Amino acid sequence: MVLLGVDSATADAVVGVTAGGEVVREARVDPGPDGRPRHSQVLLGEIERSVEQAGGWARIERIAVGVGPGSFTGLRIGISTARALAQAREIPIAPVGSLAALARGISGGGSGQPALPVIDARRGEAFAALFQSDGVELWAPFVAPPGELAGRVERLDAPPLAAGDGALRFAAELVAAGATVPPPEDPIHRVAARHVCAVGEAATEATPDQIQPLYLRPPDAKRWLQRNRRVPGG
Protein backbone atom coordinates (compact mmCIF):
# COMPACT_ATOMS: atom_id res chain seq x y z
CA MET A 1 0.00 0.00 0.00
CA VAL A 2 1.14 3.56 -0.72
CA LEU A 3 0.47 5.82 2.29
CA LEU A 4 0.87 9.49 3.01
CA GLY A 5 1.60 9.97 6.71
CA VAL A 6 1.15 13.27 8.53
CA ASP A 7 1.61 14.13 12.21
CA SER A 8 1.44 17.50 13.95
CA ALA A 9 0.87 16.49 17.57
CA THR A 10 4.28 17.73 18.69
CA ALA A 11 6.28 20.82 17.78
CA ASP A 12 7.65 18.90 14.75
CA ALA A 13 5.87 18.89 11.40
CA VAL A 14 6.11 15.27 10.27
CA VAL A 15 5.30 14.16 6.71
CA GLY A 16 6.23 11.16 4.58
CA VAL A 17 5.19 8.58 2.04
CA THR A 18 5.82 4.84 2.25
CA ALA A 19 5.16 2.22 -0.42
CA GLY A 20 4.97 -1.41 0.64
CA GLY A 21 6.58 -0.45 3.92
CA GLU A 22 9.56 1.24 2.25
CA VAL A 23 10.17 4.97 2.75
CA VAL A 24 9.70 6.97 -0.47
CA ARG A 25 10.23 10.33 1.20
CA GLU A 26 10.32 11.42 4.80
CA ALA A 27 10.51 14.96 6.19
CA ARG A 28 10.51 16.48 9.62
CA VAL A 29 10.52 20.24 10.10
CA ASP A 30 11.62 21.47 13.50
CA PRO A 31 10.07 24.49 15.22
CA GLY A 32 11.32 27.91 14.16
CA PRO A 33 14.22 29.71 15.87
CA ASP A 34 11.67 31.20 18.31
CA GLY A 35 10.72 27.67 19.39
CA ARG A 36 7.24 27.92 17.92
CA PRO A 37 5.88 25.13 15.74
CA ARG A 38 5.60 25.92 12.03
CA HIS A 39 2.87 23.48 11.05
CA SER A 40 0.81 26.04 9.17
CA GLN A 41 3.82 27.23 7.16
CA VAL A 42 5.48 23.92 6.32
CA LEU A 43 3.09 20.98 6.51
CA LEU A 44 1.27 21.34 3.19
CA GLY A 45 4.47 22.09 1.23
CA GLU A 46 6.09 18.94 2.63
CA ILE A 47 2.96 16.96 1.77
CA GLU A 48 3.01 18.22 -1.83
CA ARG A 49 6.72 17.40 -2.23
CA SER A 50 6.28 13.94 -0.73
CA VAL A 51 3.28 13.11 -2.90
CA GLU A 52 5.12 14.35 -5.98
CA GLN A 53 8.06 12.10 -5.22
CA ALA A 54 5.67 9.17 -4.88
CA GLY A 55 4.31 9.85 -8.38
CA GLY A 56 1.36 12.13 -7.64
CA TRP A 57 -1.96 11.95 -5.84
CA ALA A 58 -3.25 9.15 -8.08
CA ARG A 59 -0.75 6.81 -6.43
CA ILE A 60 -1.72 7.61 -2.82
CA GLU A 61 -4.03 4.89 -1.51
CA ARG A 62 -4.50 6.11 2.04
CA ILE A 63 -3.78 9.15 4.20
CA ALA A 64 -2.66 8.30 7.75
CA VAL A 65 -2.98 11.26 10.07
CA GLY A 66 -1.79 11.64 13.65
CA VAL A 67 -4.67 12.47 15.99
CA GLY A 68 -2.63 13.08 19.12
CA PRO A 69 -2.77 13.56 21.95
CA GLY A 70 -0.68 16.70 21.65
CA SER A 71 -0.87 20.39 20.88
CA PHE A 72 -4.51 21.27 20.11
CA THR A 73 -3.70 23.87 17.48
CA GLY A 74 -1.04 21.70 15.85
CA LEU A 75 -3.41 18.74 15.68
CA ARG A 76 -6.17 20.84 14.16
CA ILE A 77 -3.84 22.12 11.43
CA GLY A 78 -2.67 18.61 10.54
CA ILE A 79 -6.11 17.03 10.74
CA SER A 80 -7.93 19.75 8.79
CA THR A 81 -5.23 19.63 6.11
CA ALA A 82 -5.41 15.83 5.84
CA ARG A 83 -9.21 15.81 5.89
CA ALA A 84 -9.38 18.49 3.18
CA LEU A 85 -7.02 16.50 0.95
CA ALA A 86 -8.95 13.29 1.59
CA GLN A 87 -12.25 15.02 0.80
CA ALA A 88 -10.94 16.78 -2.31
CA ARG A 89 -9.09 13.77 -3.76
CA GLU A 90 -11.53 11.17 -2.43
CA ILE A 91 -8.70 9.26 -0.79
CA PRO A 92 -9.42 7.01 2.20
CA ILE A 93 -8.14 8.38 5.50
CA ALA A 94 -7.23 6.63 8.75
CA PRO A 95 -6.51 8.04 12.23
CA VAL A 96 -3.20 7.20 13.91
CA GLY A 97 -2.52 7.66 17.61
CA SER A 98 0.55 9.87 17.85
CA LEU A 99 1.69 7.95 20.94
CA ALA A 100 1.31 4.67 19.01
CA ALA A 101 3.50 6.10 16.23
CA LEU A 102 6.12 7.14 18.80
CA ALA A 103 5.91 3.68 20.42
CA ARG A 104 6.58 2.05 17.07
CA GLY A 105 9.90 3.90 16.95
CA ILE A 106 10.68 3.07 20.57
CA SER A 107 10.17 -0.67 20.01
CA GLY A 108 12.07 -0.57 16.72
CA GLY A 109 15.39 -0.69 18.57
CA GLY A 110 14.62 -4.26 19.66
CA SER A 111 15.27 -3.78 23.39
CA GLY A 112 12.17 -5.88 24.09
CA GLN A 113 11.14 -3.46 26.85
CA PRO A 114 7.61 -2.09 26.94
CA ALA A 115 7.39 1.22 25.07
CA LEU A 116 6.35 4.30 27.04
CA PRO A 117 5.78 7.22 24.65
CA VAL A 118 5.34 10.52 26.51
CA ILE A 119 4.31 13.81 24.89
CA ASP A 120 4.59 17.12 26.73
CA ALA A 121 1.02 18.20 27.55
CA ARG A 122 2.06 21.68 28.87
CA ARG A 123 0.77 23.01 32.20
CA GLY A 124 3.21 20.64 33.87
CA GLU A 125 1.48 17.48 32.64
CA ALA A 126 2.23 14.61 30.26
CA PHE A 127 0.29 12.64 27.68
CA ALA A 128 1.34 9.00 27.84
CA ALA A 129 0.44 5.44 26.91
CA LEU A 130 2.13 2.05 27.26
CA PHE A 131 2.65 -0.56 24.55
CA GLN A 132 4.11 -4.06 24.53
CA SER A 133 7.15 -4.34 22.29
CA ASP A 134 4.91 -6.03 19.68
CA GLY A 135 2.64 -2.96 19.55
CA VAL A 136 -0.22 -4.18 21.72
CA GLU A 137 -1.60 -1.31 23.81
CA LEU A 138 -1.31 -1.86 27.57
CA TRP A 139 -2.37 1.60 28.79
CA ALA A 140 -4.73 3.70 26.72
CA PRO A 141 -3.56 7.30 26.21
CA PHE A 142 -4.07 9.50 29.29
CA VAL A 143 -3.01 12.85 30.68
CA ALA A 144 -1.39 13.09 34.12
CA PRO A 145 1.07 15.08 36.21
CA PRO A 146 4.58 13.57 36.28
CA GLY A 147 4.13 12.24 39.83
CA GLU A 148 1.11 10.20 38.86
CA LEU A 149 2.82 8.93 35.70
CA ALA A 150 5.90 7.94 37.72
CA GLY A 151 3.67 6.12 40.20
CA ARG A 152 2.19 4.01 37.43
CA VAL A 153 5.66 3.29 36.02
CA GLU A 154 6.91 2.16 39.43
CA ARG A 155 4.21 -0.49 39.65
CA LEU A 156 5.23 -2.09 36.31
CA ASP A 157 6.88 -5.53 36.37
CA ALA A 158 9.28 -4.71 33.54
CA PRO A 159 11.07 -1.35 33.25
CA PRO A 160 9.79 0.53 30.17
CA LEU A 161 11.78 2.42 27.55
CA ALA A 162 10.40 5.97 27.61
CA ALA A 163 10.75 8.51 24.79
CA GLY A 164 9.17 11.65 23.40
CA ASP A 165 9.43 15.36 24.28
CA GLY A 166 7.47 14.62 27.46
CA ALA A 167 9.88 11.86 28.45
CA LEU A 168 12.74 14.36 28.15
CA ARG A 169 10.83 17.00 30.07
CA PHE A 170 10.06 14.60 32.92
CA ALA A 171 13.21 12.43 32.57
CA ALA A 172 14.16 12.83 36.23
CA GLU A 173 10.81 11.52 37.50
CA LEU A 174 10.70 8.70 34.94
CA VAL A 175 14.25 7.48 35.58
CA ALA A 176 13.65 7.58 39.34
CA ALA A 177 10.59 5.38 38.74
CA GLY A 178 12.68 2.82 36.88
CA ALA A 179 12.15 3.79 33.24
CA THR A 180 14.99 4.05 30.74
CA VAL A 181 15.19 7.42 28.94
CA PRO A 182 17.67 7.64 26.02
CA PRO A 183 19.75 10.83 25.61
CA PRO A 184 17.98 13.86 24.10
CA GLU A 185 19.73 13.70 20.71
CA ASP A 186 18.36 10.19 20.05
CA PRO A 187 15.82 10.36 17.17
CA ILE A 188 13.65 7.95 19.18
CA HIS A 189 12.18 11.05 20.87
CA ARG A 190 10.61 12.39 17.68
CA VAL A 191 7.58 11.15 15.76
CA ALA A 192 8.72 9.74 12.38
CA ALA A 193 6.54 9.60 9.28
CA ARG A 194 7.47 5.97 8.55
CA HIS A 195 5.95 4.97 11.88
CA VAL A 196 2.80 7.03 11.25
CA CYS A 197 2.44 5.20 7.93
CA ALA A 198 3.13 1.80 9.51
CA VAL A 199 0.51 2.28 12.23
CA GLY A 200 -1.84 3.82 9.65
CA GLU A 201 -1.55 0.81 7.36
CA ALA A 202 -3.03 -1.39 10.09
CA ALA A 203 -5.64 1.19 11.17
CA THR A 204 -9.31 1.24 10.22
CA GLU A 205 -10.36 3.78 7.60
CA ALA A 206 -12.85 6.47 8.54
CA THR A 207 -14.75 9.26 6.83
CA PRO A 208 -13.04 12.67 7.02
CA ASP A 209 -15.64 13.92 9.55
CA GLN A 210 -14.84 11.03 11.89
CA ILE A 211 -11.20 12.03 12.21
CA GLN A 212 -11.00 14.07 15.40
CA PRO A 213 -8.12 14.95 17.72
CA LEU A 214 -7.67 12.93 20.87
CA TYR A 215 -7.88 15.96 23.17
CA LEU A 216 -7.97 14.16 26.56
CA ARG A 217 -8.78 17.52 28.15
CA PRO A 218 -11.96 19.57 28.10
CA PRO A 219 -11.68 23.10 26.70
CA ASP A 220 -10.47 25.36 29.47
CA ALA A 221 -13.42 27.75 29.40
CA LYS A 222 -13.19 28.85 33.02
CA ARG A 223 -9.58 29.85 32.78
CA TRP A 224 -10.33 31.72 29.61
CA LEU A 225 -13.30 33.58 31.04
CA GLN A 226 -11.27 34.65 34.06
CA ARG A 227 -8.83 36.34 31.74
CA ASN A 228 -11.88 37.87 30.05
CA ARG A 229 -9.94 38.58 26.92
CA ARG A 230 -11.34 40.52 24.04
CA VAL A 231 -12.59 38.28 21.29
CA PRO A 232 -11.55 39.33 17.81
CA GLY A 233 -13.69 38.18 14.89
CA GLY A 234 -17.42 37.65 14.88
Partner 1 sequence: MSPLLALETSCDDTCAAVVDGPRILSNVVSSQAEFHERYGGVVPEVASRHHLELVNAVVAAALDEAGATLADADAIAVTQGPGLIGALLVGLSSAKGMAAAHRKPLIPVDHLHGHVAANFLEPDPLEPPFLCLIASGGHTLLAGVREQRSFEILGSTVDDAAGEAFDKGARLLGLGYPGGPAIQRAAEDGDPKAFDFPVAMSERGLDFSFSGLKTSLVYRVRDLGPEDTEAQRADLSASFQRAITDQLVTKLRRAVRAGEWPAIALGGGVAANAELRDRTRGLCDEIGLRLKLVPISLCTDNAAMIGSAARFTDPIAYPDYLGFDAFATDRSSVRAA
List contacts with partner 1 (CB under 8 A): 40-45, 47-48, 57, 72-73, 76-77, 79-85, 87-89, 208-209, 212-213, 215, 219-221, 224-225, 230-234
Q: For partner 1, which is the closer residue by CB, 29 or 177?
A: 29
**Pairing status of strand 161-163 against strand 137-144:** unpaired
Radius of gyration of the chain (CA): 18
Compute the least distance from the CB of residue 208 to partner 1, in Å: 5
Q: How far is the CB of 35 from partner 1 (least distance, A)?
A: 16
Which of 76/152 has CB closer to partner 1?
A: 76
Shortest distance, position 218 Cβ to partner 1, whole Å: 9
- Closest separation in Å from C-beta 68 to partner 1: 12
Closer CB to partner 1, 37 or 117, in the complex: 37
Long-range contacts of 141-148 (CB under 8 A, 24+ apart): 141/69, 141/97, 141/99, 141/214, 141/216, 142/216, 143/69, 143/216, 143/217, 146/170, 146/173, 146/174, 147/173
Closer residue to partner 1 (CB): 38 or 152: 38
Give me the least distance between CB of 143 and partner 1, in Å please. 15
Cis peptide before 69 (omega within 30 of 0): yes
Q: Which is nearer to partner 1, 35 or 232 (CB)?
A: 232
